[in-house]
Amino acid sequence: MSFVLQARDLHKRFGETEVLKGIGLDVKAGERIAILGSSGSGKSTLLRCLNLLETPSRGEILLDGKAVGRPGRDGAVRYGETELNRLRMRVGMVFQQFHLFPHRSVLENVMEGPRFVLDRPRAEAQALAERHLARVGLADKAGAYPANLSGGQQQRVAIARALAMDPEILLFDEPTSSLDPELVGEVLEVIRGLSAEGRTMLLVTHELGFAYHFATRVLFLHDGHILEDGPPDIVLKAPREERTQQFLARFT
Ligand code: ADP
Ligand code: MG
């Protein structure tokens, strides 16, 4: 059995607070994993540790079965710059708050990665960016600036920007949570389209209906632990844990 991404005994503390308390996760190529959990349960911290936007306090991250970084004497792993860049090229991320560059056009936002991280010539980066913008339905917005787009459009640009790096694994952290309700559908539609391509995806979301159809596997995170891990039919319809039942009951 081979795994593209793994976390082993992952811990993360901020000062006195331990937010992740020993996460073990093995992700196979092509899996689409929905991550559920109450606010503050550690979902964002988990995603951020998986692509090392946060440095874990303990435990390791593995790509294709190979540990990233070198463990120090205190148990915390040290990461080199090259290694971090390599990881982030393969593991893309889409944030709740889009994080677009406000002073660059939509096209420039999407070109940025291919041009300056992948070192592609300008014309090639532009062609790539145009293709990905078309894919999220925003070919006509290439010259616009983020502030002049709706939230749904900005998030679609952010998705195009992540896709332009052609990551093997895409992480989505509540991509529709800061959108007005009427804009949620267009973003979910784009994510649904991606799932047909077989890319490995991890999606933190409170859109349970979407998660049910999107995910091949659902995790329920509670207080820094993975409390439930299984197919959507089990976790969303007949969870084992009372905590999961209580969480799901809030949505009905
Ligand atoms: P979720 O995404 O499930 O809502 P988070 O992973 O964002 O949860 O946060 C989990 C806990 O960690 C929260 O109590 C939050 O306040 C805390 N936390 C997250 N990031 C930081 C940080 N950079 N510094 C201090 N505390 C943090
Ligand atoms: Mg969060």
3-state secondary structure 207-223: CHHHHHHHCCEEEEEEC
pLDDT value for 1: 65
> Best of 21, 36, 44 to mutate for ligand 1, by most ligand atoms within 8 A of CB?
44
Nearest C-alpha to atom 15 of ligand 1 is from which residue? Answer: 40
Give the whole-angstrom CA distance, residue 75 versus residue 231: 33
Residue 232 CA to ligand 1 centre (angstroms): 26
The residue whose CA has the least distance to atom 20 of ligand 1 is: 45
Alpha carbon distance, N-terminus to C-terminus of the chain: 37
Question: So what's the pLDDT on residue 77?
Answer: 85
pLDDT along the chain (252 residues), means of 10: 93 96 97 97 97 93 92 81 90 96 98 94 97 97 98 98 96 97 96 92 97 97 97 97 96 84
Q: Is 106 exposed, middle or buried (0-12, 13-18, 19+ CB in 10 A)?
A: buried
Nearest CA to ligand 1 atom 13: 40
**Tokens, residue 18:** 């331990």
pLDDT for the residue 72: 78
Q: How far apart are CA 10 and CA 240, in angstroms?
A: 23
Nearest to 190 by CA among 115, 88, 178, 203: 203
Which residues line the pocket of ligand 1, CB cutoff 6 A? 14, 19, 37, 39-45
Q: Which atom of ligand 1 is nearest to the CA of 15?
A: 25
Q: What is the pLDDT of residue 170?
A: 97
Counted residue by residue, the chain has a size of: 252
What strands, in cross-sheet order, belong to the sheet with 66-67?
17-27, 5-14, 58-63, 66-67
β strands within the chain, DSSP E: 5-14, 17-27, 32-36, 58-63, 66-67, 70-71, 77-78, 91-94, 169-173, 200-204, 217-222, 225-230
Nearest-CA residue for ligand 1 atom 24 is 14
Specify the amino acid at residue 124: E
pLDDT at 244: 97
Q: Which amino acid is at 35?
A: I
